[in-house]
Amino acid sequence: MKPRKKQIIEDFKNHVSSGKVALYKKYRMPFVMGERQGIYMTDVDGKKRLLNCHCNGGVFNLGHRNPQIIETLIRATEKFDIGNHHFISSQRAKLAKKIASLMPGDLNYTVFGVGGGEAVDLAIKLARGYTGKQKIVSLKGGYHGHTGLALATGDEQYRAPFGKNSPDFVQIPFGNLEAAYKEITEDTAAFIMETIPATLGIAIPDKKYMQALRKRCSQTHTLMIIDEVQTGLGRTGKLWAFEHYDILPDIVVLGKGLSGGIYPITATVFREPLESFFNQHPFIHVSTFGGSEIGAEVAMKVLEISAAPSFLEHVNKIADYLHTGFEKLKKKHPKTIKNFRQLGLMAGIEFYKEKHGLLFTKAAYESGMFSLYSNNDMHVCQLLPPLIITKEQADEILAKIDKAVSKLKFYSVAFGIKEFIDHLF
């Protein structure tokens, strides 16, 4: 380890997070991002290169440092800056109009933010403000962010250290319509879910389930909030993942990939009738950096690329190619891999043994790939490669998965799970 890397780690430990440094030291994963381009990122000391198969939850859909996005950003700085949220903005107007043109139905209005949690907070605030009701129903194992109202929709492990949750927030099991019909009532302001709950292990819902949820929300005058922070912008082979289910949400939350991996921006998109709440309270919600005019330009380019039919066709072709490879890997490792959960290029490896998702993260790292386990279901490790990958790079992903699973299987058989952890870490 070069002195520069040692110093970076020491400074991070002393001034950012000693806990993270201790954790990565324990697992022997002291990776410090240095050069990054396309689907790869290299350690600052140049000794380790990782194929990014997590993409920070979809931030790098278009790869690291996408040249078109960088060029757009540079051009934007020649004319724009952050802007001012108090004024009417040409760039926010242009971006919101573009989003409306790409959304189905009357999802015609957008309020911009900076982080996904902020965008979810706004969605819940709007639901409560518009309906005059308080109850919010979400899914157990789902994840919507670490900020106020977003945090309240998540599992106890994320919110318990900060005190008791409001009784107005209720969670129900994924896939359980009986529970949904019991809790989504006339007293409910909103039901919120990720189209595909990633932290729950890339749990892909059935079409009938999604349509039944939409019907129940309509019956009870409950707003349906769909969180597309990770699933949106082509990740599943359609521009918006909810399009697979032939439903129209009342509110859609976008983030991560909208930034192009370059400039943070999120969007809370809602149906036209809901705008009446902001008509009465135009300054009830503000975000100083939300919808930065520079960020709006970047997001416009992201949408231009992601919505192109040729781009979505590419995603689906690569997804089909990977699916074939996944099936071969499943047959090769029948005692280790239970299944591959996949919709487009949103996928997860489901293992038979709990904790194998966590252990696969380490094994994949050793094999030159970053793939993050699903914290709310450790049977699963997520596979979210950049959407720009080629067939050759897909082959590389499959080879690294094979190598990592083989290593996992060897250690599991030789030492057992506990001994495997002790041996590696």
Q: How high is the pLDDT of residue 408?
A: 83
Judge whether 326 lies within some domain.
yes
Are 337 and 250 in a shared domain? no
Residues 6+ apart with CB under 8 A from 15: none
Domain end, chosen from 306, 335, 357, is at 306
Query: What's the mean per-residue pLDDT of the chain?
Result: 94
CATH code of the domain covering residue 115? 3.40.640.10
**Mean pLDDT on 322-331:** 98
- For 61, the 3-state DSSP assignment is coil
Are 158 and 261 in a shared domain? yes
Q: Are strands 33-37 and 266-270 parallel, antiparallel or unpaired?
A: unpaired
C-alpha to C-alpha distances, 33 to 5, 36, 42, 49, 255, nearest whole angstrom: 10, 7, 6, 9, 22
Q: How high is the pLDDT of residue 411?
A: 57
Residue 415 — very low, low, confident or very high, per pLDDT cuts 50/70/90? very low
Judge whether 414 lies within some domain.
no
- The total of structural domains in the chain comes to 2
Are 172 and 315 in a shared domain? no
Are 157 and 250 in a shared domain? yes
Evaluate if residue 168 carries a pLDDT over 50.
yes
Q: How far apart are CA 384 and CA 346, in angstroms?
A: 5
Evaluate if residue 85 carries a pLDDT over 50.
yes
Residue 416 — very low, low, confident or very high, per pLDDT cuts 50/70/90? low
Judge whether 330 lies within some domain.
yes
In the chain, % of residues over pLDDT 90: 87
- For 120, the 3-state DSSP assignment is helix
C-alpha to C-alpha distances, 43 to 36, 182, 382, nearest whole angstrom: 9, 50, 22
Q: How high is the pLDDT of residue 26?
A: 87
Judge whether 248 lies within some domain.
yes
Burial of 357 (C-beta count, 10 Å sphere; 0-12/13-18/19+): buried
Q: How far apart are CA 54 and CA 59, in angstroms?
A: 9
Q: How high is the pLDDT of residue 358?
A: 86
The torsion defined by the Cα of 83, 85, 88 and 89, in degrees rounded to 10, comes to 40
Judge whether 332 lies within some domain.
yes
Residue 421 — very low, low, confident or very high, per pLDDT cuts 50/70/90? low
Judge whether 33 lies within some domain.
no
Are 272 and 332 in a shared domain? no
- For 424, the 3-state DSSP assignment is helix
Are 379 and 294 in a shared domain? no
Q: How high is the pLDDT of residue 390?
A: 98
Q: How high is the pLDDT of residue 356?
A: 86
Residue with tokens 């969605």: 123
Task: Give me the helices (H) in 201-247, please.
Answer: 207-219
Are 272 and 351 in a shared domain? no
Are 212 and 331 in a shared domain? no
Q: How far apart are CA 198 and CA 142, in angstroms?
A: 8
The residue segments making up the domain with residue 365 are 308-388+400-409
- Tens-place pLDDT, residues 95-118: 999 999 999 999 999 999 999 999
Beta bridge partners of 277: none
- Tens-place pLDDT, residues 223-279: 999 999 999 999 999 999 999 999 999 999 999 999 999 999 999 999 999 999 999
Judge whether 302 lies within some domain.
yes
Q: How high is the pLDDT of residue 355?
A: 81
Residue with tokens 């309240």: 152
CATH code of the domain covering residue 319? 3.90.1150.10
- Tens-place pLDDT, residues 31-75: 999 999 999 999 999 999 999 999 999 999 999 999 999 999 999
Beta bridge partners of 342: 347
Q: Are strands 40-43 and 49-52 parallel, antiparallel or unpaired?
A: antiparallel
Q: Which two tokens stand for residue 384?
A: 């979210």
Spatial contact of 386 and 62, defined as CB atoms under 8 Å apart: yes
Return the DSSP state at 204: P
Are 272 and 324 in a shared domain? no
Domain end, chosen from 274, 306, 338, is at 306
- Tens-place pLDDT, residues 285-316: 989 999 999 999 999 999 999 999 999 999 99
Evaluate if residue 357 carries a pLDDT over 90.
no
Q: Which two tokens stand for residue 325?
A: 């490879």
Judge whether 424 lies within some domain.
no
Domain end, chosen from 280, 306, 332, is at 306
Are 157 and 119 in a shared domain? yes
Residues 6+ apart with CB under 8 A from 196: 202, 203, 204, 205, 230, 231, 236, 241, 343, 346
**Mean pLDDT on 414-423:** 50
Q: Rounded to the nearest 10 degrees, what angle do helices 67-77 and 293-306 cross at?
A: 150
Q: How high is the pLDDT of residue 420?
A: 47
Q: Which two tokens stand for residue 157?
A: 């492990």
Are 224 and 191 in a shared domain? yes
Are 182 and 319 in a shared domain? no
Q: How high is the pLDDT of residue 183?
A: 98
Question: Three-state SS string across 69-99, please?
Answer: HHHHHHHHHCCCCCCCCCCCCHHHHHHHHHH
